[in-house]
Amino acid sequence: LSYLSFLYALSSIHFSCFFFFLMIRRPPRSTLSSSSAASDVYKRQVDSTVVSSVMGLLSDTDPTVQVAALAVLSNVCLEFSPLKQVLLDHLVVERVSELLTQAPHIKVRVQAIWMLRNLAYKSTLSLKQSIVARIHPRELGLDEVVVPQTSCASDAVTQLTEHGLALVRNLLADDLSVQLVLDWMSGHEYHLLELIRSYLGSTSPCLVQHALQLLVNISSSPNPKHKQLIMSHSELLQAVVHHTYCHDTDPAHCHDTDPAHCHDTDPAHCHDTDPELRLAAVWCLINLTWPNQQGSADRVARLASLGCHDRLYKFLNLGTDAYVGRVHLALAHFNHPNPVPNPDSPNSP
């Protein structure tokens, strides 16, 4: 373990030095000297040896060693890491996916998902296809019963689910990736939007945050069919609207007979503790209402009928600068004079 701890620290230092090198290095030359070429070959050999040694520890029978090895791999598989290709050459997706499937220890599974999560970040479509081809959605903890809680990652089961949702989030990056994930989950009889809806009802802010970010990524797809999947799910839309404004937690300020309905009686009474949830919800509205995208007129009309425009306007100047800026953008979308209609809409020309 001391060796793995050293490698983990070394990998962190390596990235710091790598960025420092990028800042101070001289402009690249048009030719590469023979000594530089030999140095690069030697470095690749050393990198390959280190990666091979760490991956060999994945077969260790001690879960603590496996977790430590996965932590090192999680550090060196990041998008900017020069070792990422070395890992792929050593079939890291196959090895870690196999470990995720077979490991009985939940902490090993958590770290394996974390590693795949980092690997999937800003990765190519082919790499994402390789990941989903080797894992089942249930291995990401999406079937686990999440105990209601008000804090983040307080137990291994919740950590498993959080990292599982984060992995799915990193897989959803563009319209092709969105379709890949939808097909992958439906092929295993999982319905992504239903999962998102269930996690939006969690009392864990981290799970709600991941669920909202999944909607943000799906809604950012330029494919109007992906946006329509959200628009046709009434409960999802209501959940997004619910999170776009803060909630007054003092019943004394509520003018409704049911305190659960007390949301926006007075912005001055807002005691929202997690503005990131509101920001993610507003981003979802922005993505659904880009004026130059097909069907935006119908989506704007539907969201306005749910009270989005009025609520956003009421809380226009309440919150962080980032939130207020995004609210201004969302309102600009709602007020755009020429949104693009859906060609299938009865009101389209």
User: Residue 238, Cβ neighbours under 10 Å: how many?
Assistant: 13
More confident residue, 177 or 146: 177
Question: Given pLDDT bands bounded at 50, 70 and 90, which one contains residue 168?
Answer: very high
pLDDT given at position 178: 94
CA 119 from chain centre, in angstroms, equals 13
> What is d(CA 265, CA 281) in angstroms, rounded to the nearest whole number?
20
- pTM value is 0.76
Query: Structure tokens of 294?
Result: 């097909």
The H or E element that residue 296 is part of is: helix 296-305
Does the pLDDT of residue 25 top 50, yes or no?
A: no
Q: What is the DSSP letter of 150?
A: S
Nearest to 109 by CA among 146, 58, 75, 154: 58
Question: Given pLDDT bands bounded at 50, 70 and 90, which one contains residue 80?
Answer: low
Q: What angle do CA 151, 143, 234 make, to 5 degrees?
A: 80
> What is d(CA 202, CA 116) in angstroms, rounded to the nearest whole number?
24
Nearest to 66 by CA among 18, 23, 26, 102: 102
